[in-house]
Structure 1
Amino acid sequence: MLGAPNPVELPDGGSWQEFGALLRHWRRHAGWTQAQLGAAVGYDHTAVSRLEHGARRATPRLARRIDELLGAGGELTRSHDRAESAEGDRPALPPHLLRPPLPTGPAPAPGTGPVPAEDCPASLPDHDVQCPLHGATGCQPPPPATALALHAAFCADPAAPLDTDTVHALAAVLAALLGSQLHGTERAVGERGPGTAIEATLRAVVARLADAPVRHRRVLARLAAEYAHAAGSLRLHGGRPATAMACFDRALGWAALAGDPTTQAAALSDMAVLGLLDDDPAAAGDYAREIRRAAPGRHWSEALAELGEARATALAGDTRTTVRHIGRARQHLDRPDRTLPDTEARVPWLAPAALRLRVESGSSAALRDLAAATADPRLARHALAAATAALDLLGDGQLPVARAMLTVRIADCHLCTDDPHPALAALAPLLTTDGTPLPALVRHELRGLRGRLVAGAGRWGAEAAEVAVRLGAVV
């Protein structure tokens, strides 16, 4: 259990958990409530609760005053001194890791939960969210109603205990929020969608880090990294690259603190994508190379790094180097490391099919960029084959954003082979939207495609020109 220990079974001496457990013991022995003790020393009852849970440090003067009031005979003072001494051995966290990446924002509407109970997963990992305690090995979170109640208590009360069930609940709610976004079921979240609840929870997690005992730091950092990466992904798809980068950068720091190379790699991959969107291939390549340093010696990190470098060199128009990077990425998929630690071997997005989907999708983008830059139809045909392979790897109803992006890319590859008819047919479903804005990555793909449509409309006819006009309103 991660929460405050039972007073009868105190942890090793020299911790704020020991002090808190003794404080609770002597308060109860004296027959005082938290509110009564708080009033006697000029504190709110929630501050007393945080002291008892080991989530807040007491000053020497406060410890002596409580010791006298409760008749502890110096036991609380001595426990305080041991905790102070042990605290000196705890390295301070960098200031930027004690601040959320985004300023305070609106909370979810009163009376609504972050997600409907039926959306909460029965087990973890789910939607690539892992339990900070059990990782990819998996675990069973509390029942949905309990998980939502624990999540609400954690966000509302800074003194709420951080026990095993609460950690499981926070991870399960994040998975449910991401699931509601992916499947378009963001009910009971408010008009701003699941991002509001994700960012509010992230702020609550980060608020705990400053005073967290050492044994809680890694757990909280892992939660902060997962929530920050999710917040960044939603900002990225919403077309807010600057705030997305802030979230990914902070996720990187928390993942490093938690010893979580998979979240580090995921954040770096997304940062490389932001470099591409910003038309900065040098930065994109730098972020891709950092993936190797975050997870050295893994076949999956090598594949992702090679893929990121391929996309960067393609933007720079370097055909030979791009093709070489793509070949190496595929080689790493074909020769996976069978000795991966269990914490990585069971990560859903590192599974062979999921990794191959990433590599084929990224390869299609790099080859398409080269085809557009060089007007080489052979490269466009290779890009088309990779995009089609990636689309085939997507199951029905899975990852609708990825499906839309690959559909646009397939159409674009047809244009790069000077074959507009299948391109226009592929685009037709995207042009019959209900007015909902397309995700930013899909709009980015469409902007490049529309430019090629405009340039080729003279020889492709009126239909191509009409589609180009309609795309102008979409992007």
Structure 2
Amino acid sequence: MITGPARAGEASWAEFGRQLRSRRRAAGLTQLQLGLRVGYHHSVVSKLEAGLREPPIGLVRRLDSVLETGGELAAVIAAPRDVPHGPGRFLADPGLFSPLPGADNTEGHGALDPRHWPDRLPAEGLACPLHGTAGCAVPDRSELPALPELLGASSALVAGSAPPCGADAEPDLLHGLTAVLACLIRETFQQPPDDHRVAVVEGLLRALARWADAVNATGRLPYGQLRLAAQYAQVAGRLRMDRGQSAVAMAWFGHGLRWADAVQDAPARATLLSDTCTLVRLDGDTHSTLAYAVGVGEVDTGRRWMTTLSGLYQARGHAMAGNAVECRRHIALARRKFARLDRRDLLEAPWLAGAEGEMRMDSAIGGALRDLAVATGDRSTARRAVSATARSCASVPPEMRTTRLLLTLRLADSWACAGDPAAAAALAGEVLADALRARESMVSAELRGLHSRLAGQWRDVPEVRAYRERLLDAGG
């Protein structure tokens, strides 16, 4: 006789089957048509709907995508069915929710710019934590509390007091908090991250974690809360990384990965691994860079945007190691995957669409080729880095000021690696004051690399001497 966990697992299969059948019929698809779309025989779909087999997680993700459920099928499989709803029992390890970095503080941050407030989700690459890329409307900004009051809004919901934003309080608050994060991301494009913005993101994130913990304690999987918390953790970690605070950044990335895994959120896991890969690369750890780069592609090999990023990150890792063959091979693989991105890819990774996507590709390729030129001393590779970085720099949107600064420094460094220190000094001189004021770790890393090249064999070139004098006068 089957008992215990096995029987509980079969119960979740049956619930999954009921949900799958309902979603398929709502989409107007036969079992044969759905099977063709996800790459499985229709008999597999039939067995899944009958609850006769365990759904493979890769297939679950494809079904969620094709049926546009926003991850609801994955949530069915992720949620245990045998956990009592009494007090003190949890659907997930309570260690998911603490200890957390940061503090509960949103004071000092002005009102969000209404021009940045989105009408619908996804926005700034953030999907709805409940419904994915379905195109959810968000509440009007005037309908939400002020930022400091949002910290207590989730607690009010859990405690059963008056809803903070309408009758359907939980979805509205999740939609509104996603829109707030989109606004904060847009602000970061226009100006460097400051203490107040970091505090706001981390304060709201800590409130989200408490909300998720409280929902979890009632016996209900906090699916939307954990998905949104993973998105907030990625931004919080990125802000800390930009400020050179790598330990706190790694802590946030780690929490985000655990939250994303708890609800099987593949896009969040891939973006968190991508930023972790950048963090260890900035620390000069080649082996960890390659390990995380491979991990990005392994999240879901069917999502081309993930394998594109994986190829780019692997190219940079191999460049750091001076492996020209592998660097160029992964650049070529990334380009092929990028050329084949489909609608789902661009919904989940809109920053890879159109001109912005081309800019980001050229930026990453230029960075890899520059790193390879530094490691090998090959000037022909450096000239290819100049071409890729110049294309990227020319197409940076005006609002992405920090990106333009970083790419200008990288272009100058590529010219130095290519044997033209005068061009390098001229380019860097145009942005020297901004670069010295910048607090972003990646800008600082580019500036250090450029200065090490110019201070080496090119220190006696007149243009370089003049640049170094300006640098000393500026206190750099």
Scaled to the shorter chain, the TM-score interval is 0.7 to 0.9
Aligned pairs for 1:146-295 (under 5 A) are 146-149=143-146, 152-155=149-152, 158-160=155-157, 161=163, 162-184=169-191, 192-212=195-215, 213=218, 217-295=222-300
264-273 or 134-143, larger mean C-alpha shift: 134-143
Whether contact under 8 Å (1:118, 1:144) holds in the other structure is: no
Letter in 1 for 2:174: V
Contact preservation (8 Å) 1:446, 1:471:
no
**1:375 aligned residue:** 377
Q: Is the 8 A contact 1:136 1:347 kept in 2?
A: no
Q: Map 1:123-134 to 2 at 5 A.
A: 123-134=120-131
Distance 1:203 1:364 in 2: 37
> Could you tell me how far apart the structure 2 residues matched to 1:469 and 1:262 are?
47
How far 1:352 sits from its partner (Å)? 5.0
**In 2, distance between residues paired with 1:444 and 1:346?**
29
Which residue identity is paired with 1:303?
T
**2:255 & 2:460 partners in 1: Cα distance?**
49
Contact 1:360–1:386, Cα closer than 8 Å, also in 2: yes
Shift in CA distance, 86/438, structure 1 to aligned 2, threshold 3 Å: closer
Which position in structure 2 is the counterpart of 1:31?
none
Contact 2:308 2:337 in 1 (8 A): yes
2:386 corresponds to: 384
Q: Aligned AA for 2:143? A: T
**C-alpha deviations, 1:388-424, integer Å up to 9, x for none?**
22223323x1322221111111111111111122222
Deviation at 1:157, TM superposition (A): 5.9
Per the TM alignment, residue 459 of structure 1 is displaced from its structure 2 partner at its CA by 4.2
- Checking the alignment, whether the CA contact within 8 Å between 2:379 and 2:418 is kept in structure 1 is yes
Alpha-carbon contact 1:411-1:424 (below 8 Å) kept: yes
- Does the CA-based 8 Å contact 1:147-1:173 persist in structure 2? no
Alignment of 1:82-93 (within 5 A): 85-86=84-85, 92-93=91-92
Cα distance in 2 for residues equivalent to 1:214 and 1:292: 34
Question: Corresponding residue for 1:402?
Answer: 403
Structure 2, gaps ≥5 residues long: 1-81, 158-162, 164-168
Deviation at 1:454, TM superposition (A): 0.4
Matching of residue 313 in structure 1 with residue 318 in structure 2: yes
CA–CA distance in structure 2, aligned partners of residues 346 and 252 of structure 1: 17
Say which of 336, 359, 362 aligns to 1:360.
362
Conserved in 2, the CA contact under 8 Å of 1:119 and 1:176?
yes
Gap change, CA 1:474 and 1:404, over 3 Å in 2: farther
Paired amino acid for 1:236: M
Give the length in aligned residue pairs: 382
Deviation (angstroms), 1:279:
0.8
Compared with structure 1, are the counterparts of its residues 300 and 173 closer, same or farther at alpha carbon in structure 2 (3 Å cutoff)?
A: same
| 1:114–1:194 Cα contact (<8 Å) kept | no
Distance 1:352 1:289 in 2: 25
Counterpart of 2:337 (choices 332, 335, 351) is 332
**Larger C-alpha radius of gyration, 1 or 2?**
1
1:458–1:233: structure 2 CA closer, same or farther, 3 Å change rule? closer
Q: TM-score, normalised by structure 1?
A: 0.73
Instruction: After superposition, give the CA deviation of every residue in 1:352-402 in whole Å (9 maximum; x if it has no partner).
Output: 54443333211111111111222211100111111122223323x132222
- Assess, with a 3 A threshold, how the Cα gap between structure 1 residues 130 and 453 changes in structure 2: closer, same or farther: same
Identity of aligned residues (%): 33
| C-alpha contact (below 8 Å) 1:303/1:328 kept by paired residues | yes
Q: Would the aligned equivalents of 2:83 and 2:91 in 1 still touch at CA under 8 Å?
A: no
Instruction: Calculate the aligned-residue CA RMSD, in Å.
Output: 2.9
- Alignment gaps of 5+ in structure 1: 1-82
Which deviates further from its counterpart, 198-207 or 153-162? 153-162
Q: For residue 431 of structure 2, what is the amino acid of its counterpart?
A: L
Q: 2:152 corresponds to which letter in structure 1? A: C
In the superposition, relative to structure 1, how do residues 450 and 283 fare at CA in structure 2: closer, same or farther (>3 Å)?
same
Whole-Å Cα distance in 1 between the matches of residues 416 and 195 of structure 2? 37
TM-score by length of 2: 0.73
CA positional deviation for 1:332? 0.9
Q: Deviations over 1:130-183 (max 9, x none)?
A: 221232232221111213448824535612355221111111111112222221
